[in-house]
Structure 1
Amino acid sequence: MGEFRSPVHFRHGTFPTDGAAVDIMEDLRLRGLAAPVDLTVTGYDAIGALAAPFLGLTTYRVPVVEMGRVSVDMLVDKIEGKDKEDRSHALRGTLAEGRTAGSPPAL
């Protein structure tokens, strides 16, 4: 993982996975910084052990079960010839509030 340049010039980070968010939080800890005191940290996916409330990571919970169901339905429709055109389906996830986000600290 790359290193942050010091001093920190941002106050919020949203990371592509919960694992990446936890990695950043560890890097911050090694620098004497913490979320949400010095900056806010938000993950993305809420899958697996890193989504445990014990860790307190604020993350976006992806609706993976619904994604799978919709994907299979769309694939079956395509195979059976019910859909001639490609289509998309919007799904809504939810915010899993933890202890790593809040009002961004002042610069």
Structure 2
Amino acid sequence: MMAMWVFSIDKVILFLGLSQNVARIGLEYTRVAVFHYLMEGVAESYCVLLDITDHETFGLIVDITEGITDVAVVWAVAAFYPIDLVTVGFIHLVVAVFFFIFTLVSALCKGWLSAFWGG
């Protein structure tokens, strides 16, 4: 489904009556955003396992911290450099990957999901 957006978002934007430039920007952003959405979906699925195992407070704190970090990094980069929508998308993707890895490693090191590895 997400791959469909990569191939059709520019046509949808043009169909909505927006300019060719907006369609180009939308297509460039979508090519990054689909990976961000995919990463968020995987991370959210993993966090549901943590919720089920009574570690929802950890997930909540990580989620809030990720949101604050995301906004802060975008603001910091935008304050000092001219950025475009694609750069914002890359920042979102990098922050999401970082926090997913942090959550994964933290849970593995604490052994929170060890009871589930056997199936």
Give the TM-score taking structure 2 as reference length.
0.31
Return the structure number with greater helix share.
Answer: 2
Return the structure number with greater strand share.
Answer: 1
